[in-house]
Amino acid sequence: MAHAILPTATAAPIAGAGAPPTAEAWKAAFDAALSYDDFLARHATPDQRSRWDAFHARVTLTPAQTAVLGSFVRRMPVLVLAGAWCGDGVNQCPIFAHFAAAAPSLDLRFLDRDSRPDIAAHLKVCGGQRVPVAAFFSEDFSPVLFYGDRTLSAYRAAAKAQLGDSCASGAAPPPADQIAAVASDWLDQFERVHLILRLSARLRQIHGD
């Protein structure tokens, strides 16, 4: 992946962000993260923001997908390690914003990769610090799933086009069918995590359902 265009100040290490981080450390990282709009306002250049906005406008969910998201009842914190400069982020993170708009119980936050190296170190993919990576948690910040940096559909398209390992600029957005395929891939993961939470005996005892 490419490096961020603008340097980002590094915050003080989070207590408990060891190997692995404690639930308290994950919560602290989540609390330090930003909403979708605030993340872009703080970390994106005007050109980067225009790319994110353009891709966001191209994402549509089917009625069935909206119904699935609307059926979520468990609070599901999702921490997305991202970089406003990254084409993979441009072409995926706006999908999450659509999910959050359709699922009130979905608590979505974004964390700049370079601002939290102590947390980012635990979200590597194949030994590399790639983005985006989504970290899914229960309401008390027990980790459920770490997933990234591209979905299977995106990797199939990349392999077919024989792309290299560098991060795309996002200047050439994917076709509509590929956007739909990636959105479907991601929704599978969001739905799977919600079902894990909904059927958890521990959480059902807490909520009495």
Q: Report the pLDDT averaged over residues 54-62.
A: 98
Distances, alpha carbon 132 to alpha carbons 93, 124, 166, 181, in Å:
7, 10, 14, 17
The reply to whether 51 falls in a domain is yes
- Domain residues for the domain of 161 are 23-207
Q: In this predicted model, what pLDDT tens digit does every residue of 143-165 receive, in sequence order?
A: 999 999 999 999 988 888 755 55
Task: Tell me how many domains the chain contains.
Answer: 1
What integer pLDDT is reported at residue 123 of this predicted model?
Answer: 94
Whether the pLDDT of residue 54 is over 70: the answer is yes
Domain-embedded: residue 65? yes
Check whether 171 has a pLDDT greater than 90: no
Rounded distance, CA 202 to CA 144, Å? 14
**Is 2 part of any domain?**
no
The whole-number pLDDT of residue 174 equals 86
* pLDDT tens string 70-116: 999 999 999 999 999 999 999 999 999 999 999 999 999 999 999 98
Would 17 be classed as within a structural domain?
no
Could you tell me if 9 and 115 are in contact, meaning their C-beta atoms sit under 8 angstroms apart?
yes
The pLDDT of residue 10: 65
Between residues 9 and 30, which one has the greater pLDDT?
30
Q: Tell whether 3 is covered by a domain.
A: no
Rounded Cα distance, 67 and 61, in Å: 10
pLDDT score of 13: 73
CATH number assigned to the domain comprising residue 118? 3.40.30.10
Evaluate whether residue 71 is within a structural domain. Answer: yes
Q: Determine, yes or no, domain membership for 15.
A: no
Has residue 135 been placed in a domain? yes
